[in-house]
Amino acid sequence: MTSLASFQQSALDLLERQHKSPHFKKALSKYPVTGEGLPHVDYTARKNELLFVDGHFAPHLSCEIAAKEEELLVFPLEEAYPLYTPLIDLHMQVALQQTSPFALFAVGAAKTPLLLHIEEGENVEIDLVYLQTRSHLFSPICLQVYLEKEARCSVTTRIVSKEKNLEGCLSQHISVSLEKQSTLSWCDQMTYNGVGGTIASAFYGSLQGGAQLRKTSIHAQAERSEEHVHLTLFGKEAHAAVSSLLLPQGAMRAHLAVTAEHAHPEARSSQQIKTLGADASKTHFSGKIYVHAEAQKTEAYQQHQSLLLSEEASVCSEPNLEIFADDVKASHGATIASFEEEALFYLQSRGMSLGQAKSLLAKAFCREVLDAFPKRLQTPWQGFVEKFVGSHAHSND
């Protein structure tokens, strides 16, 4: 048994010993993991797409970016292990320290874990497409991403299905390492084509001096959505920014936990989270800024704002600062509110109906986070948000 296989087995053993999450146990019993190979799929990859089918990487269906060795190296993790042993061992050791059962399962049970390596000075755009061919499957996905010095990379993830109302579970575990002066933009579109199923994501990142990471995500159209983000800043002038928009509706449960850990002086981080809660949905946000004693001249900010579209929707916000340095600029804030009566009255006095006024205010509320998304995704998601707030903002007129 290789050391990599030992790490994977350790993840499953740890899961068995320590985690009794009813949500995970329900998902695992309801959506079994298929051990079968790749099913026959009629799919033509678009530019920059790497395709996963029911959790299995499909190189023959992915675009040819995977073969351009001068820009991007794509290895099965088992094949990469002899060449990248220290890096993979470090990522796996971090993975075994996490608390999310979904993430541990993704590490231990992923059928085709991959390493993506972007070489020095290259600029690569990647679309990770998770294609689900049938309902009631649990798809664990594990990826490690390594950016050399001054490399640039933009990654988006999205779930595609043949069925209109897909029901299943997709869990991804992502570990990224950014060398000096490298830049990574990562956008997770955590939404099914319907309102069923569970989507879980764990994202762990390490940033060296001058590295920049922008992590964005949107949560919508699922029974349950769970995301854990932990970013560690190890170098001077490293900058990490997290922006998330949560759009729970119906009986959806959304959970987001974000930690920015400052381990070196003169680094910056920001967390900007917005929740637009509708119907009887429930949202929980846990945010932390952790500053080590040696991380002087840190700048770290956290903001969670929630707007409730119904009296039944609920939001729990838990901001947390742990600061052991004395020369630090740090702040956090959380607001949970419904529509301001004065703003509604002002817009109605200008000729808008109550529903139109609510819709306008809700779209303006979301716009700040959407502006942080990759430009090519902003217009379609703005359209989605407009339909979302329109359908709920008018419901109480």
* Whole-number pLDDT of residue 98: 80
- Tell me the C-alpha distance between 118 and 135, whole Å: 34
> Along the 397 residues of the chain, how does pLDDT read in single tens digits?
457 889 999 999 999 888 778 889 888 888 888 766 677 777 777 888 999 998 999 988 887 654 455 678 899 999 999 999 999 999 999 889 888 999 999 999 999 999 999 999 999 999 999 998 888 889 999 999 999 999 999 999 999 887 777 788 999 999 999 999 999 999 999 998 766 789 999 999 999 999 999 999 999 999 999 999 999 999 999 999 999 999 999 999 999 999 999 999 999 999 999 999 999 999 999 999 999 999 999 999 999 999 999 999 999 999 999 999 999 999 999 998 888 888 888 888 888 888 788 888 888 899 989 999 999 999 999 889 888 888 886 555 5
Q: Give the model's pLDDT for residue 1.
A: 44
Of all helices (H) and strands (E), which one includes residue 220? strand 212-220
Residue whose tokens read 């942080």? 372
Phi, then psi, of 52 in degrees rounded to 5? -115, 130
Per residue, the 3-state secondary structure of 333-372, as one string, reads: EEEEECCCHHHHHHHHHCCCCHHHHHHHHHHHHHHHHHCC
Nearest 5°: the CA angle 8, 13, 14 is 95
Q: Which residues of 219-240 are buried (b: 16+ CB within 10 A; e: fewer)?
A: bbbbbbbbbbbbbbbbbebbbb
- Residue 235: enclosing H or E segment and its boundaries? none
Cα 190 to Cα 151: distance, rounded to the nearest angstrom: 26
Is 57:50 a contact under the CB 8 Å cutoff?
yes
| Separation CA 159–CA 189 (nearest Å) | 8
Cα–Cα distance for residue pair 233/178, rounded to 1 Å: 10
Contact of 354 with 331, CB cutoff 8 Å: no
Concatenated DSSP letters for 197-214? Answer: SEEEEEEEEEE-TT-EEE
Give this prediction's pTM: 0.94
User: Coil, helix or strand for 216?
Assistant: strand
Cα dihedral 306, 195, 257, 382, rounded to 10, equals -50
